[in-house]
Amino acid sequence: MIPQRSNLSVLNGPSSLLVRTNLTLGFSSMLMVVVSTIALYVFVIDPIAERSADDEAALLVLSCQTWVELPPEARPYFELELAQNHDLIISEAIMDLPDLDRFLPYTALLQDKLRDRLDMDVRMLDGDDLVWVVVPMADYDLQVGLSPDRRDIQLLYVAIVIVGMGAAIVFLTSLLIVRRIARPLVKVANQAEQFRGIEDIEPLPETGPRELVSLARNFNTMASEISLLLANRTTLMAGISHDLRTPLTRMHLALALLPNTVDPQLVARFESNLENMDELIRDALHFAKGTGELAQEIAVVEFVRGVVATFDQSIVVSADISTNASALLAPNAFARVLTNLVSNGIKHGGEAIVHISSGEISVSDNGPGIAKEYRTEIFQPFFRLETSRSVTTGGSGLGLAIVQQLCQAHGWEIKVNDALTGGAKFTLIYTATIV
């Protein structure tokens, strides 16, 4: 079994079910926090703060009125009672303090309530530890100190924390549920990505919810049937190959034993036809076998030059990557793709021009090129472009189909374009190189 490029990155990508569900849950949780906070503030916190500020303003005004009405000797006792029971400090002395410019929600409400009760503007001063309220009373301008930490209630922030914690609990719980559901789907996707039908793979566990059990069972059945079908195809093709090659071998031997009086051109035509039949059988068998190869780290430039050298030492292989650059590739499949592309260029385009770049290998020729409407069909088995390719050129009609098959099996890509020389240009896109 060929380990393909893992589909895990796709399953964890922005378009995956798991990520989309997580984003939906996260957005829903945030929306719940915002809506709950607004509702809590409008219907609970703000009314409570309004009433609390009104009561506090009444207490301040009443305390100042009482202080003014008390005899001077009783005022210290009253000030002590306010400090102990209400955390208020009344001072007759006018302290030189700056105006309050800090935003304290409750203090701002308190200032508005005092203005309403006294029917005048009320100054608020910023002390080191206290906020001071200047309350005009008769002949006195009293200053009442209060602690902003004690008076400026933080219910809004507390509510946000509580609602946020609730949303986080809901989100995490939902996330665990989603992951539990998505995990079997990820297994199915990975098995489907790795499955090629040639070798058995470990069956998916048929456990869990009924729907997932049904999915796993159907996948296992499908995988078994496909494996059997492909195995039978390979066996059939191997049998046909053996049965056909035996008489072909005899015919080759018979041609070799013919006397010299036989027309050499006739003998050459027979030999050419036999070679074409051999090639057809060989390519058909290879096409039926599929792929079953482990990827290895290979030196790309050296490897390509070695494959091309088997055709013609004079074929120049250019490269704009380092000769030390390597990539994880299935060597036999990679060599087969290169062989078919170079052979195709030499047969039908006169020559093959090979260029290596990062993650790509292009093979160009000087032939008539391939029209755009045929650039998909040429990868179909036994498809031939009769206008440019005849039986006299040889070929089984399976070379490019094998290229397409191997590319699909190993996660590569094959493209066809016009070459600068006017012929066809095949570009093999493989995994990025490892320098």
The residue length of the chain stands at 435
pLDDT at 10 over 50: no
Least trusted range by pLDDT, from 249-253, 285-289, 323-327, 386-390 = 386-390
| Residue range 305-346, pLDDT digits in tens | 999 888 876 788 899 888 888 898 888 889 889 988 998 888
At residue 130, the pLDDT reads 86
pLDDT at 11 over 60: no
Query: What whole-number percentage of the chain has pLDDT above 70?
Result: 81
More confident residue, 391 or 177: 177
More confident residue, 71 or 279: 71
CATH class name, domain 1-193: alpha beta
The model's confidence at residue 413, banded by pLDDT at 50, 70 and 90, is very high
Report yes or no on whether pTM surpasses 0.75: no
CA distances to 186, 192, 282, 401, 404 from 408, rounded to whole Å, are 21, 14, 21, 11, 6
Beta-strand relationship, 317-319 and 353-357? parallel
The model's confidence at residue 361, banded by pLDDT at 50, 70 and 90, is very high
pLDDT at 269 over 90: no
More confident residue, 19 or 74: 74
- Among residues 39, 35, 58, which one has the least CA distance to residue 47? 39
pLDDT at 4 over 70: no
At residue 396, the pLDDT reads 61
Q: Are 314 and 326 contacting, i.e. CB atoms less than 8 angstroms apart?
A: no
The model's confidence at residue 5, banded by pLDDT at 50, 70 and 90, is very low
At residue 13, the pLDDT reads 52
Contacts of 318 (CB under 8 A, 6+ apart): 354, 355, 356
| Residue range 196-213, pLDDT digits in tens | 554 556 788 887 777 778
- 419 Cα distance to chain centroid: 34
Cα separation of 28 and 37, whole Å?
14
pLDDT at 153 over 60: no
| Residue range 203-247, pLDDT digits in tens | 888 877 777 788 888 888 888 887 777 777 667 767 766 677 777
At residue 94, the pLDDT reads 72
At residue 196, the pLDDT reads 56
Beta-strand relationship, 131-137 and 124-126? antiparallel
The model's confidence at residue 278, banded by pLDDT at 50, 70 and 90, is confident
The dihedral built from the CA positions of residue 387, 390, 394 and 397, taken in this order, carries a sign that is: positive
- The structure tokens listed for 220 are 């296992």
- The structure tokens listed for 233 are 């195809």
At residue 387, the pLDDT reads 47
Cα separation of 88 and 302, whole Å?
88
At residue 8, the pLDDT reads 42
| Residue range 337-347, pLDDT digits in tens | 998 899 888 88
Q: What's the CATH number of domain 210-287, 3.30.2310.20, 1.10.10.10, 1.10.287.130, 3.60.15.10?
A: 1.10.287.130
Q: Are 372 and 315 contacting, i.e. CB atoms less than 8 angstroms apart?
A: no
Residue spans per domain, the chain? 1-193, 210-287, 291-429
Q: What are 429's strand-pairing partners?
A: 360, 413
Average confidence (pLDDT) over 156-174: 74
The model's confidence at residue 134, banded by pLDDT at 50, 70 and 90, is confident
At residue 71, the pLDDT reads 92
Average confidence (pLDDT) over 106-120: 81
| Architecture category of domain 291-429 in CATH | 2-Layer Sandwich (3.30)
- The structure tokens listed for 11 are 């399953």
- The structure tokens listed for 237 are 């093709």
- The structure tokens listed for 138 are 């008769």
CA distances to 61, 91, 92, 111, 364 from 134, rounded to whole Å, are 11, 10, 10, 10, 91
At residue 283, the pLDDT reads 65
